Amino acid sequence: MKYKAIIFDLDGTLTDTLEDLFLSVNYALRSCGLPERQLDEVRRFVGNGVRKLIERAVPKGTKSPMTEKCFEAFKAHYVIHCQDHTCLYPGVATLLMTLHAKGYRMAVVSNKLQTGVDELARTFFKGVIDVAIGEQPGIPRKPEPDMVLKALEQLGVSKEEAIYVGDSDVDLQTASNAGLPCISVLWGFRSRDFLVAHGATIFAKSPQDVLSLV
Q: What amino acid positions are annotated as catalytic residues?
A: 9
Q: Whole-angstrom Cα distance, residue 185 to residue 123?
A: 22
Beta strands in the chain (DSSP E): 5-8, 15-16, 87-88, 105-113, 131-135, 162-166, 182-185, 203-204
Q: In what order do the strands lie in the sheet with 105-113?
A: 131-135, 105-113, 5-8, 162-166, 182-185, 203-204
Q: Whole-angstrom Cα distance, residue 45 to residue 62?
A: 16
CA angle 43, 45, 46 (to 5 degrees): 70
